[in-house]
Structure 1
Amino acid sequence: MTDANTTITPVKIPGVAWDLAADIYFPANFDEALKYPVVITAHPTGSDKEQTSGNVYGAALAKEGFVAIAFDASFQGESGGEPRFVEDPGFRVGDFSFVVDYLVAQPWVDEDKIGVLAICGGAGYAVAATMIDRRIKALTTIAGSNVGRLMREGFSNYDPIAMLEAVAAQRTAEARGQAEQINDLLPPTVEFAKENGLTDIDVLEATEYYKTPRGQHDRACTSFNFARQGALATWDAYDHAETFLTQPLLIVIGDKPGAFASYRLGMELYGRAASKEKDLLVLPGVSHYDLYDQPEATGKALEAAVPFFHKHL
């Protein structure tokens, strides 16, 4: 989906103790002597920068004259951090500020025009980051989710205490030399899912996206390091949104509900956000994963997001 005139430049961004990997999507006729509005695009949980945050939304924003920067979360993709496949909200939220640090040091960035567009779990982290880092001036969430909430619900079989006990036991075992436990969040195939009674639309469509050539990428492993996932159990992406989420906000969701709860959570965020300028776009007949890469759904999302960023950046 990248325009032939869009230039993609990989960069390394200094983080807390390692580099974050990012791809910068420059618009056609980019002139480094000018200053540009920039949109940071953040990938879903278990994804990477080459997928929807980069090749769909980053590329589209660059075609509209923005500079877009898609980055890999710490411990994931091409970014640094050990052990691998850690999904820790503190690091995931903090990554945004390191990306902003990098941007404000570039002469072609208008530091007063930095926004964020984030998808699925990345959107939850983006909400928390936007509340903290006031250099972020506008936020769009696409099929946004709240991984902390899901960890207390379906991801822990609605028994987060038992999950935390198991995490504690695994962490003790690893401290004594046992191998890491890396859990794939998805079934290996759609057929396997159906054969084992998994019928939820989000689970099936996630498997079809991540496990087939439709969206598959070598570094998008849809995996959690089990011993390190405990921090999610007590974290909530929307905590204090009524007070601190004041920047302009656009929420895009489909009306087909599924296990990853973007419909329900999008509605909740819209109600809770303190933003004086906030919009909710509900797309009829659209599922969570349609908003990852399906042209009709992503096109409608961008029809809202592009003017939103032109207005607020």
Structure 2
Amino acid sequence: MPRKLPFPPNDNFGSYEPTISADGNTIHFARFAHNGDTRVKGPTDIFVSHRIRQSGEWPGTAEDWSPAERLPDTVNSDSADQEPWITPDGNTLYFMSFRKAPGVGPTGIWVSHKQPNGEWGQAQPVPGGNINNSEYRTHCFMPFDLPGQPSAMCFVSIRPREPGAPNTTDLYTTRQVDGVWQPAQRYADRLLDSIALKCRFSLVTRDDFTLGVVSVHDFGKFHTLLFVHYDPKSKEWKGPIVEAPFNDWNIDGACPNFQANGEKMIWSAGYDHGPDLISGGKDGAGGLYDLFWLPTSELIAYYKARAGVG
């Protein structure tokens, strides 16, 4: 059963697409303007909440967390800014933005670096690697660290697999070498390619088992989650594909992020609010979401039991 975070970091204005810091004490998330928070200047802005009292068991109570604070205009804009992911050292924030810039498509990946004074620097499109492209949508920039392979990032993009081919929604990977993003490559995998309407891919390795979580977006309706696992010997993703036990095909709930040490998964969902509009509407509106979490050990145990593996 999903565990709901206290109020705060949840509140009456909703919290969407969270990312959790390596120490578990900072959560960045997106917030929709139409849910009533007048601080939101664009259709969506990125906010943060801090665990200010850390003596008790995580996540603690409402008294342990600071009220949500909007990130400065060096990060946010008058466009839609969402899907934050923060590096384990807490100094770099990646996110998706609809803002316009040369060489960036309808949606692109932007980055802001923490300055020596602790403030966030001016966000810029992620350079190089063909991550951003003036013609195509790119989103959900997430860690892609597989056993025995160099650290990498993955993202979802809608672009042709080869010149002249139709646009398809695929998973791409890239990594930094000496601080430079390498050319993104489509991640071809028979199982993952068979899952239609995927909009985010998250993975975690705990106790020598790698679990993959596919966010599936039935566009115009709702997000749900599917579980798969990785075989390091064949270097392929394997089934059986298992639905998350908390999926509700009438209620939006997905966009997970794993803590850097793999201890817990955090995601956003409207379980307590019922069906509503989700992100991507013509006016940029979105439903009201709360933050939920589960220990990764429980997710893996559930998958193994249902899939008959491990």
Scaled by the length of structure 2, the TM-score of the pair is 0.29
* Higher RCO (CA 8 Å, separation ≥ 6 residues): 1
More strand by share: 2
More helix by share: 1
